[in-house]
Structure 1
């Protein structure tokens, strides 16, 4: 897949449109489903495309009813919904800006109104804006990146907690950049580091309530955010620095979320999984 990324042009808008990518990321689960999430209700931000779409499909195939939050990528969101419904599942679409606490409250209320409860919250949506120098990071960019990537997690957890009961799961999307840094994504990497600390701290806060909080820190993954972030030259080289010498596909990341959302992870909280193509990460 790595060589084929040369066919995908850079997009102009964040967080990117999956329908415009060539080749298309692969989202369908690779393993046969076994009903591990039957009767579960899940809300996934950034669920219209990329990792979020793959997670939504994997959850739905395991029996969950899902709601996906997204910004304004309606075509991608409708395609995710179509794929889930085609498999006999249910998918509620909720469009809006997760950087707004009001929207986050309303989104959780919409999930409860539609399904009656919430069992799994996946905080996945993010944005990134490469810059050569720290002086190039404007106040507007800094605030937007933090508001989207980490403030939203506070907003959604606050809104969801009244509905989460023992056994519920909160899963946050961190990044390999939280551990090894990124000189051209200073603000993005900082938010991902904050997500790791947030995950560990929230896990300790909620452990007595038997609510499990974990994270996934993917390495380079072929998602719309990549084609909306980097130049065509960087897209061609994307992921080749990993030991596997290629970027991951969303369907290779989604199983980590399924594991953390199900009983296989019953003795895990405050932890981070690292599907990253073989890079050794401490922490």
Structure 2
């Protein structure tokens, strides 16, 4: 069994994939079938983790892919190369989703390059583990909310003028929205807010033919994990799930693909749960 015992604790959020050991698995497992042929997708947090896995899978399914990342240039370069290796056009955009003008600039760049936007995947997030809630600073709360939920709202506001009937928005929430997590109280709260945002926007956009759904992953082996927890916590990561292990980014990306393409054309306001059974674990 793989040992998740990376002792190189990272001191920045959202973490660096190229420093992880073992490396996350992000490559798609199956040949593409053209489910996103001719579509244009923008993925936030696409440099690593779930975002990278979704970007490469979207490329394999025929999409043009743009992704927004914070400052992880080496990881972004690897994602860019992996997407292009699938034969897809790709744009990597450096910026902070918590900054509203950045979100609008990113969308403008995508539309300027390809003339349309069909799929928005709101995936970027940060989390900061704290044993005592009393030690969670106002600055940490503000940063976590700005990235995790403000950023999703800003991206939707920027994207909507360019999205038409048949477009899809997919948001990454978390198992912590359902179970909570005592080390990640502010993070869990943002993920609960995202869940409500998904449901509200699904009703709001249904008359326009735009579907809004989400995924609630966890526990998934991404850069957020060594960037958030001490080595002893990392070593136990995922073992509480019903399947007894953490998941990989390429085990979440197919759920995002499903919600982004016409396979899910009669679904909106729903959340899929690639979580190894953790949401129902005792």
* TM-score, length basis structure 1: 0.97
The CA distance in 1 between the partners of 2:227 and 2:182, in whole Å, is: 18
Give the structure 1 partner of residue 61 of structure 2.
62
Quick check: 1:8–1:23 contact (8 Å CA) kept in 2? no
Query: Match for residue 150 of structure 1?
Result: 149
Query: Deviation at 1:7?
Result: 3.8
Partner Cα separation in structure 1 for residue 168 and residue 38 of structure 2: 14
Counterpart in the other structure of 1:134 = 133
- The whole-number CA distance in structure 2 between the counterparts of 1:97 and 1:134 is 26
- Deviations 1:177-213, CA, capped at 9 Å, x for gaps: 0000111101000000000000000000000001000
Farther-moved stretch of structure 1 (152-161 vs 82-91): 82-91
Structure 2: which 5+ residue stretches go unaligned? none
SS of equivalent to 2:169: strand
CA distance in 2, matches of 1:231, 1:242: 19
Write the distance in 2 (CA, Å) between the matches of 1:24 and 1:199. Answer: 31
1:175-254 aligned within 5 A: 175-254=174-253
Alpha-carbon offset, residue 91 of structure 1? 1.1
* Aligned match of 2:23: 24
Aligned position for 1:15: 14
Per mean C-alpha deviation after superposition, the further-off stretch among 130-139 and 62-71 is 130-139
Name 2:33's counterpart in structure 1.
Answer: 34
Partner Cα distance (1:151, 1:181) in 2: 20
TM-score (norm 2): 0.98
SS at match of 1:85: helix
For the residues of structure 1 that align with 2:130 and 2:168, how far apart are their CA atoms? 35
Distance 1:11 1:280, change over 3 A: closer
Q: CA RMSD in A?
A: 1.2
**Secondary structure at 2:43 match in 1:** strand
Tell me if the contact between 1:123 and 1:153 (Cα under 8 Å) persists in the aligned partners. yes
Deviations 1:120-173 (A, max 9, x none): 000000000011222111111111000000001111111111000000000000
Question: C-alpha displacement at 1:281, in angstroms?
Answer: 4.7
Taking the aligned partners of 2:100 and 2:280, their CA distance within structure 1 comes to 33
* Aligned match of 2:170: 171
The answer (yes or no) to whether the contact 1:46–1:124 under 8 Å persists in 2 is: yes
Report the 3-state secondary structure (helix = DSSP H, G, I; strand = E; otherwise coil) of the residue aligned with 1:227: coil
Q: Does structure 1 conserve the Cα–Cα contact (< 8 Å) formed by 2:43 and 2:123? A: yes
Q: How many matched pairs?
A: 281
| 2:60 is the counterpart of 1:46 | no
Q: Are the counterparts in 1 of residues 175 and 279 from structure 2 also a CA contact under 8 Å?
A: no
After superposition, where does 1:260-279 map in structure 2 within 5 Å?
A: 260-279=259-278
Cα deviation for residue 9 of structure 1 reads: 2.1
- Structure 1 residue ranges without an equivalent (≥5): none
- Which 10-residue stretch deviates more, 6-15 or 83-92? 6-15
Give the match's secondary structure for 2:93. Answer: strand
Using a 3 Å threshold, how does the CA distance of structure 1 residues 212 and 179 change in structure 2: closer, same or farther?
same
Partner SS for 1:6: coil
